[in-house]
Chain A
Amino acid sequence: MNDFLVVETLGEDALLLRFGDAIDAQINRRVHACAAALQCDRPDWLIDIVPAFATLALCIDLDAFADAREPLTEVRRWLQSRKLGTGADAVVASVRTHLIKVRYGGESGPDLEAVAAHAGLLPDAVIDRHCAAEYRVGMLGFAPGFPYLIGMDAGLAMPRHATPRTRVDAGSVGIAGAQTGIYPRSGPGGWQIIGRTDESLFDVSRECPALLEPGDSVRFINAAEADRSSP
């Protein structure tokens, strides 16, 4: 039995598997379990497996189907013949965990005070709560290597800036609604910036250019505290 609800077409050369229509950790876990199952036994014509919060796109190489009647019909048939995203797959899929050291507040996090005021908390409490949660990379999008992290303390949620900043530094850690994320590259951005990391989120010279991949687990560490406790 397949775990996705429905298969939609996304143009001529992609299908979209739908698991739900909300940002939800459980739904997103099923998306990544299904992606991992497809990855294990991936046919040559499947040129990309693109996760989002509640959907998974399969990008197809049309040239591989030159003689077939209709590529997407063939792919649908192939999908039906498989068992994907079942509980067993979810267990098998291993999860990488990353620890990301963040300098919170000050120049690194110009919006920390505003987020604290919005949440009715002291800035230190915002930092503690942001570091306490375990996050999952729901998807990468917006820019190469930009992780949308699911699992933030609901008390820290805050809308993005009405007018985006013209420049947000690379490595900036931000909050937008119930999500938190990290800017891989300097550029304009509307998220509430609470801190910054020195980690390089995206580098095309690495074998895997993205530091964080869809489905990975992430924890933030308060750099100020880590430095204090180190010998």
Chain B
Amino acid sequence: MSIAVLAPGLLSSLQDSGRQGWRHLGVGRSGALDPLSFSLANLLVGNPADTAAIEITMSGPRLRFVHSARISICGAQVDASLDGLSIPRWRRVDIPAGSELRIGACRVGVRAYLAVTGGFATKCVLGSMSTDLRAGFGGFDGRALQAGDELAIAGGFQPQCDQVVVDTRWIDPAPDLDFSAPAIIHVLPGADALAAPDALFADEWQVGNASNRQGLRLQGSLLRIADPRERISEPVMPGTLQLPADGQPILLLADAQTHGGYPRIAHAIRADWPRLAQLRPGDSLRFVRCDAGKAQRKLIEQRQRLARMAIAIAARP
């Protein structure tokens, strides 16, 4: 069973929940930037939540399904159609053999996930099927998808269908992912203090054009570090908010380097990563202060909502 890539879209890559335990060798996490949409896409098609899926960025691919398949698309608001018939997100969709799936431009949000029952048959590299785009390994040949690629589907499941079958039931990712609400990102304090401690929280920040899977480059009022001495390289993590000398912070995402020499002024909490992953150049966000207890509560609540959705989906006939 396989899918033929007719056109790859802007940046489509295989991602799972990421690579853990290799940062000491300089290997970053990679993995789905929006873990919530990624997990829900998998759960909807009956996969374990961390099965490899295609992460779509900004504009999606055109794919031909050689055999029938069960799919779902979650995340950014994106136009998807199957041989001209529009198909909705956040649902299970059975598609007949020979279908051509077109995923268009993301209208709201920036990353969508395409999951297929069985997942993709790709090699596990250092414990993960995620593509490390910077280092060039994992996923499909260590790179983003290209026209002509043939993606093998694992498991061999083929739904019996002569035409598209869209499940009448969908799921709602709110409040964990709500595109209509302003992006409020909770942050824990970093090791390095700002000259004006409230400056990070006073105004809105805009996402810059140079943002990518490594990090969001933020634009706003100039920030100054209290102690401007040169720093040596120290470990950084996805979620770390760095402040380079130009005074415009960079919020590190899943493809971040393992070490960095810039001051660390804050850390975005994990419960807000789905929202962060969906911010596109020009979008605005605000930071609010958080503490470890609240961060933990928000993460546990998010996981409980996900677990309840998993149970509800599994209970469907």
Contact B126 A142 (CB under 8 A): no
A139/B233 contact (C-beta < 8 A), A48-B21, A146-B26 known: yes
Among the listed B23, B135, B138, which residue makes an inter-chain contact with A57, where contact means beta carbons less than 8 Å apart? Answer: B23
The answer to whether the Cβ of B134 comes within 8 Å of any Cβ in the partner chain is yes
A/B pair count, beta carbons within 8 Å: 126
A50 to B27, CA, bound (A): 11
The contact string, 1 if C-beta is below 8 Å from chain B, for chain A 120-153, is 0000000000000000000111111110100000
A-contacting 9-mer, from B68-76, B97-105, B144-152, B235-243: B235-243
A14 to B24, CA, bound (A): 13
| Nearest CB of A to B193, in Å | 12
| Nearest CB of A to B16, in Å | 16
The answer to whether the Cβ of A59 comes within 8 Å of any Cβ in the partner chain is yes
Which residues of A67-90 have CB atoms within 8 Å of chain B's CB atoms? 70-73
The answer to whether the Cβ of A103 comes within 8 Å of any Cβ in the partner chain is no
The answer to whether the Cβ of A214 comes within 8 Å of any Cβ in the partner chain is yes
The contact string, 1 if C-beta is below 8 Å from chain A, for chain B 96-127, is 00000000000000000000000000000110
Interface size class of A (residues with CB under 8 A): 35 or more
| Nearest CB of B to A87, in Å | 23
A146 to B237, CA, bound (A): 18
A-contacting 9-mer, from B58-66, B83-91, B205-213, B292-300: B292-300
Among the listed B27, B137, B295, which residue makes an inter-chain contact with A12, where contact means beta carbons less than 8 Å apart? Answer: B295
A73 to B115, CA, bound (A): 37
For B, the interface residue count at a CB cutoff of 8 angstroms equals 40
| Nearest CB of A to B266, in Å | 9
A185/B235 contact (C-beta < 8 A), A11-B240, A57-B23, A204-B126 known: no
Contact A144 B25 (CB under 8 A): yes
A52/B259 contact (C-beta < 8 A), A14-B237, A22-B232 known: yes
The answer to whether the Cβ of A53 comes within 8 Å of any Cβ in the partner chain is yes
Which residues of A1-15 have CB atoms within 8 Å of chain B's CB atoms? 8-14
Which residues of B263-279 have CB atoms within 8 Å of chain A's CB atoms? 264, 267, 269-270
The answer to whether the Cβ of A158 comes within 8 Å of any Cβ in the partner chain is no
Among the listed A23, A57, A141, which residue makes an inter-chain contact with B257, where contact means beta carbons less than 8 Å apart? Answer: A141
Which residues of B10-41 have CB atoms within 8 Å of chain A's CB atoms? 20-27
The answer to whether the Cβ of B231 comes within 8 Å of any Cβ in the partner chain is yes
Q: Which residues of A contact B299 (CB under 8 A)?
A: 12, 62
A10/B235 contact (C-beta < 8 A), A70-B292, A139-B259 known: yes
The contact string, 1 if C-beta is below 8 Å from chain B, for chain A 84-104, is 000000000000000000000
The answer to whether the Cβ of B174 comes within 8 Å of any Cβ in the partner chain is no
Contact A142 B25 (CB under 8 A): no
Among the listed A22, A141, A145, which residue makes an inter-chain contact with B259, where contact means beta carbons less than 8 Å apart? Answer: A141
The answer to whether the Cβ of B191 comes within 8 Å of any Cβ in the partner chain is yes
Contact A70 B296 (CB under 8 A): yes
Contact B26 A142 (CB under 8 A): yes
Contact A48 B22 (CB under 8 A): yes
Q: Which residues of A contact B136 (CB under 8 A)?
A: 185
A103 to B26, CA, bound (A): 25
| Nearest CB of A to B242, in Å | 12
| Nearest CB of B to A155, in Å | 21
Q: Which residues of B contact A70 (CB under 8 A)?
A: 292-293, 296
Contact B20 A12 (CB under 8 A): no
| Nearest CB of B to A178, in Å | 11
The answer to whether the Cβ of A51 comes within 8 Å of any Cβ in the partner chain is yes
Contact B135 A144 (CB under 8 A): yes
Measured CB to CB, the nearest residue on chain A to B191 is A8
The answer to whether the Cβ of B188 comes within 8 Å of any Cβ in the partner chain is yes
| Nearest CB of B to A206, in Å | 11
A140/B25 contact (C-beta < 8 A), A52-B233, A209-B126 known: yes
Contact B25 A209 (CB under 8 A): yes
| Nearest CB of A to B252, in Å | 10
| Nearest CB of B to A216, in Å | 12
A145 to B23, CA, bound (A): 10
Q: Which residues of B contact A52 (CB under 8 A)?
A: 232-235, 259
8 sampled A-B residue pairs with Cβ under 8 A: A11-B237, A12-B269, A14-B235, A23-B232, A51-B24, A140-B24, A141-B26, A209-B27
**Which A residues fall within an 8 A CB radius of B?**
8-14, 16, 21-23, 35, 47-57, 59, 61-62, 70-73, 139-146, 148, 185, 202, 204, 209-210, 213-214
**Which 5 pairs show the lowest CB-CB distances between chains A and B?**
A141-B259, A57-B235, A11-B267, A140-B26, A210-B25
